[in-house]
Structure 1
Amino acid sequence: MLATDDDVQTRATPATPPLSTPLRLQRISPALGVEVSGIDLREPLSDAQVKDLRSALVAHKVLVFRDQDITPAQHVAFASRFGELEIHPVFPRHADHPELVLLGGNAQKAASENVYHTDVSWRELPSMSSILRCEVCPDVGGDTIWVNMELAYERLPEHRKAQIQELFAVHDIMPAFGRRMNPEERDAARKQFPPVSHPVVRTHPESGNKILYVNAAFVTHLENFTACNPVRGAFESHSEKNDLLEYLYRQAAYPEYQMRLRWAPNTIAMWDNRSTQHYAVQDYFPAVRRMMRATVIGDKPF
């Protein structure tokens, strides 16, 4: 018997395991996301709170905390409870806390993060989670969209799942960040961060769920398409490989897999980079939006 959409969605976004702390979770969309209340992020987290938040993160993929007026030091302390934090090699960083990147343009220059992506998938060990705090946002516009890539994989036709099951994609820092560097910086970045291959279908290390793990910002090509798919020649191989990759990119654009967040100052979003993509909507220029982000190092995709 075929699964209904409701059946698929239930598997992709399971209920949170019972919580041991007085957290309250309010769903944001059917696909993913909860607003979390009953916690003050200015205070150190207990082990029980960390466990409950991590369970909620795996289940719902995006956690939103409102009215959290925390300092940069408290931001770092909160993020560090979930793992080691990365130092981003390109984005500007906080002067006292290099774990925090500073995001946003100004009234003269628009920001440019408007592409569906997974943070730092070009690393050998991509991010487990990102924690983004809003400092300044426009009166209207500047929302962020997140996508449930477990659900995107689950709803692929079975023949597509079979086609991509053994494929690897090459992720590269240069398409998105090369233009921000001078030639010497590009040479140094290429040595430190060579292109890496990750499975097109990765397995979540905590839930065991399958995830469609390609994104348009950092994936340049499918590494072993020809080895896994019989083709008649080089021309058809190139065409079919590109068509498949574009098809996989487009899965992130389905509204049915998404949630959308309206920012306000002191709103914090924490998301699971293993199972989501996101898109910063650039509809507010020349108004200004400023954010700080900490990123938790993850593990090697498998």
Structure 2
Amino acid sequence: MTITAPNRPRTTFDVEQLTCTIGAEVRDCDLAEVASDAALFDELRALLLQHKVLFFRDQHMTRAQHVGLAERFGPLEDHPVVGSDPDHPGLVQIYKDLDSPPEHFENSYHCDATWRENPPFGCVLRCVESPPVGGDTIWVNMAEAYRRLPQSVKERVRDLRARHSIEATFGARMPAEQRAALHAKYPDAEHPVVRTHPETGEEILFVNSFATHLVNYHTADNVRFGIDYAPGASDLLRYLISQATIPEYQVRWRWTPNSVAIWDNRSTQHYAVQDYWPAVRKMERAGIVGDRPF
């Protein structure tokens, strides 16, 4: 497979880079118009590859327009636990208010749905209602996280693979029978610890809070005594997952109603800060089907 770096995007839009490593705010942009204009969409997609997450304010889109924009990137996928809007399949409603159960799936650094064999390409997330303060989301450049690992660690992890599980995360609070059914329908997926971006060729550190263990660590090269494997392998995985917490790789976005984020799920992680209770936070997300990491 031949991978070529994307062309540098045109400058139709007013684009402000937000940090040295990730994120840009795009102004003078009507996303509903972009969804129906091939040239504008191509420019937006190039910007996404460059900055990894794009932010927009004052986007007064209908749900149908939201879905239509996301579908320009590819088919949408439902979520087996959260579900989606019945009138707009693939549009997941993430509503946090006083009636919501105390779920804490979002406030960990994660890459969406890596428990799938084909994790999502990316997402289009729109803020419906935001707290007066708090409820920010953090995104992390995991290509930069890999690039800045010590060389000795890169050599150690290059050929490793990790298991990713929905059963151990979303399924943990379910009764045993329901959890087993979830696992049967969505068995654990195995992915490389270091994946290659299929469009840019970047190497990406691809472990997150859905990763449960390294599946091919216990070899003669890595394990002299039992302690090298337990807790040695889990210590290494924990170290790799912790790289997402480094501020130098991050951008933090403060939501306002009708603001939108579009991110490349293949090269980023994110963290939804849950510091706003008892305020309300309502978000709607369209996740886009991706490919199998290699």
Into which bin does the TM-score normalised by the smaller protein fall? over 0.9
Inter-partner Cα distance in structure 2 for 1:222 and 1:263: 36
Pairwise CA distance, 1:183: 4.1
Gaps spanning 5+ residues in structure 1: where? 1-13
The one-letter amino acid paired with 1:65 is F
Following TM superposition, the consecutive aligned residue runs of length 4 or more in structure 1 with deviations greater than 4 angstroms are 108-111
Q: CA RMSD in A?
A: 1.7
Q: Percent identity?
A: 50
- Alignment partner for residue 40 of structure 1, among 30, 49, 52? 30
Provide the rounded CA distance (Å) in 1 between the counterparts of 2:96 and 2:257. 16
**CA gap 1:291/1:229 in 2 versus in 1, 3 angstroms:** farther
**2:121 aligned counterpart, secondary structure:** strand
2:89 paired residue among 76, 80, 98: 98
- Residue 154 of structure 1: how far off its partner (Å): 0.4
Q: Are the structure 2 counterparts of residues 90 and 275 from structure 1 closer, same or farther at C-alpha, using a change threshold of 3 Å?
A: same
Partner of 1:58: 49
Q: Deviations over 1:172-202 (max 9, x none)?
A: 1112210354444323321221011100000
- How has the CA–CA distance of structure 1 residues 111 and 191 changed in structure 2, closer, same or farther, with 3 Å as cutoff? closer
Alpha-carbon distance, 1:222 to partner: 0.4
Partner of 2:167: 174
Preserved contact between residue 9 and residue 47 of structure 2 (Cα < 8 Å): no
The alignment's TM-score, normalised by the length of structure 1, stands at: 0.90
Number of the residue aligned with 1:297? 289
> How many residues get paired?
287
Q: Matches of 2:85 and 2:173 in 1, distance apart?
A: 18
Q: TM-score, normalised by structure 2?
A: 0.93
Q: CA deviation at 1:228?
A: 7.2
Q: 2:199 aligns with which of 190, 195, 206?
A: 206
Give the drift of 1:105.
1.9
Aligned-pair CA distance for 1:51: 1.4
Partner residue of 1:287 out of 253, 256, 279 = 279
Q: 1:231-262: CA deviations, max 9, x gaps?
A: 22223311210110111011000001000000
Matched residue type, 2:94: L
Mapping of residues 260-275 of structure 1, within 5 Å: 260-275=252-267
Contact 1:107 1:286 in 2 (8 A): yes
